[in-house]
Amino acid sequence: MRFGTRLRARSLGRTRAGRQRPRCTAALAGTAALALLASGCAADARADTTARNTVTYWLWDANQLPSYEACARDFEKENPGLDVKISQVGWDDYWTKLAAAFIAGTQPDVFTNHVQKFAQFADLQVLAPLDELPLTTRIKDSDYQPGLGAAWKGRDGHRYGAPKDWDTVALFYNKKMAANAGLSAAELDHLTWNPRDGGTFEKAIAHLTVDVNGVRGDEPGFDRKHVKVHGLATNDAGDGDGQTQWSSFAASAGWHYTDKKVWGTHYNYDHRTFQSAIEWYFGLAKKGYLAPFTDFSDTNGPEAQVGGGRAATALHGSWMLTTFHDFKGIDIGTARTPVGPTGKRATMMNGLADSITKDARNKKGAEKWVTYMSSAACQQAVGQHGVVFPARPEGTDTAVAAYKKKGIDVTAFTQPVADKETFSFPVTQHAADVYALMRPAMQDIYANGAPVGSLDGTNDRINRLLSQ
């Protein structure tokens, strides 16, 4: 998933002459959202969004806000009389605000959607089928990187999202720490793993781990209970998808989330292949190589641990490239995910999309805006900012060039796509229930050492839900 690096709400509104005018905005969460929606601010928003010349658009990633502001300026020039109002709210509050807005009838015309949430919105029937709207029906799977378009089709076969960008996962590492450990960039880019002894990946992570006495994890006398630098930092327990945690290991062992690529009807968390990968992965914490569960928090994620010198490496998504490379005093390198027992690498390829709400107040304007955002012109403009990889191949190429200009090598993220070493985020019904059941189950394994066999019961409960 994507996380905005700062929490704020911001709106962009322009007159035809291009001058900005103030908007009523707020970052809404929980019951406070409903209270504000009932206030004068909400009333002003309702009056504003009913105007035919306004298209409201919500996103969560603050890093992407400038690029879409630029797209909005170009869009408004091409569509005189149409105004794009952009509101940005951080990830944690974004979905709460959106849910409250649907309940109150104040939802935006268009919003950035995530595959993790797509199934739930599709079940609630609050999204407009893009293939039934005059302009967005032109969107084709072949316009985008392979697999991105198909991920946004519901069980009914209709398209509910226009792909905007994509991401993969790779290993970020502190170059100085790696050099001090005698590990070259080539070695880190060709690591292997297996659930028995961890392969060369575990050997590297162990050697990068250093206790308070300066003893490395693979040296005699290592104190696993008093570690100064962990070889690997992780991002919580991974819930039911493990995108930046364990997904690459489970997939490279030959495991699949469900019985189908999209809209599966049966989860496989009870498979031995999966459970052996999970047992090995969180077993790294017991050995002292992986940062313990207690080290993780919203403000102390893997990027903070690597940036603060408390971890040598972290698996993370390409949307974090700028964050990692902006660390002062730390030179960051990237390596591909390790080769697994199947003899292949694997990395999740996730993609965001823009969705139009079923009851959008300005449906025609929303169609035009989504069509423009999915165009080569907008996606190349986004690519020029070097923040994400746009969904269109030409947008991706533009982004790669922009990253290169910044001195950032993105090969570890783009090569797996070219080599077809990617897999998709699981999309099923009852996505919120899967999350609610898997989150505590995985945290119990990571934090308390619960046996991986406990996932059998969790998997049964999930599959009973899917069978209803």
pLDDT digits (tens, 9 = 90+) for 135-158: 999 999 999 999 999 999 999 999
pLDDT at 52: 75
b/e sequence 392-416, b meaning 16+ C-beta within 10 Å: beebbebbbebbeeeebebebbbbb
pLDDT of residue 180: 98
Beta bridge partners of 122: none
DSSP 191-228: -B--TTT-HHHHHHHHHH-EETTS-BTTSTT--TTSEE
Rounded CA-CA distance 71/50 in Å is 22
Reduced to 3 states (helix: H, G, I; strand: E, B; else coil), residue 87 is: strand
Mention every residue, 6+ apart, whose C-beta is less than 8 A from residue 145: 163, 166, 349, 351, 391, 392, 393, 396, 417
Q: Which runs of consecutive H residues, i.e. helices, occur in 23-114? A: 30-37, 40-49, 65-78, 91-104
Specify the pLDDT at position 122.
87
Average pLDDT per run of 10 along the chain, which is 468 residues long? 35 29 30 36 42 90 94 97 96 93 96 92 93 95 93 94 97 98 98 98 98 98 98 96 98 97 95 98 98 92 97 97 94 98 97 97 97 97 96 97 96 97 93 95 98 98 96
- Give the C-alpha separation, 142 to 247, whole Å: 27
Contact 167, 319 (CB under 8 A): yes
Q: Which residues pair with 356 in a beta bridge?
A: 110
Residue 78 burial by CB count (10 A; 0-12/13-18/19+): exposed, middle or buried?
exposed
Tokens of 53: 């010349």
**CA count, 13 A, side-chain hemisphere, 39:** 11
DSSP-derived pairing of the beta strands 313-317 and 169-174:
antiparallel
- Comparing CA positions, the residue from 258, 248, 234, 215 lying closest to residue 427 is 258
Give the dihedral sign, CA 398/425/2/320: negative
Please tell me the predicted confidence (pLDDT) of residue 51: 53
Element (H, E) at 53: none
Looking at 288-358, list the stretches that DSSP marks H as alpha helix, in order from N- to C-terminal side: 302-307, 321-325
Instruction: Indicate the residue type of 256.
Output: H
> Is 324:172 a contact under the CB 8 Å cutoff?
yes
The percentage of residues in the chain with a pLDDT greater than 70, rounded to a whole number, is 89
- How far apart, in Å, are the Cα atoms of 351 and each of 2, 234, 395, 443, 447? 10, 21, 14, 26, 30
Closest CA to 410 of 261, 293, 418, 109: 418
Residue the block writes with tokens 């919105």: 121
pLDDT at 14: 28
Structure tokens at 109: 């015309």
Angle between helices 431-448 and 115-124 (to 10 degrees): 140
Contact 217, 312 (CB under 8 A): no
Phi, psi (rounded to 5 degrees) for 401: -65, -40
Q: Please, are residues 449 and 286 in contact by the beta-carbon 8 Å criterion?
A: yes
pLDDT value at residue 7? 32
Buried b (16+ CB within 10 A) or exposed e, 104-141: eebbbbbbbbbbbbbbbbbeeebbbbbeebeebeebeb
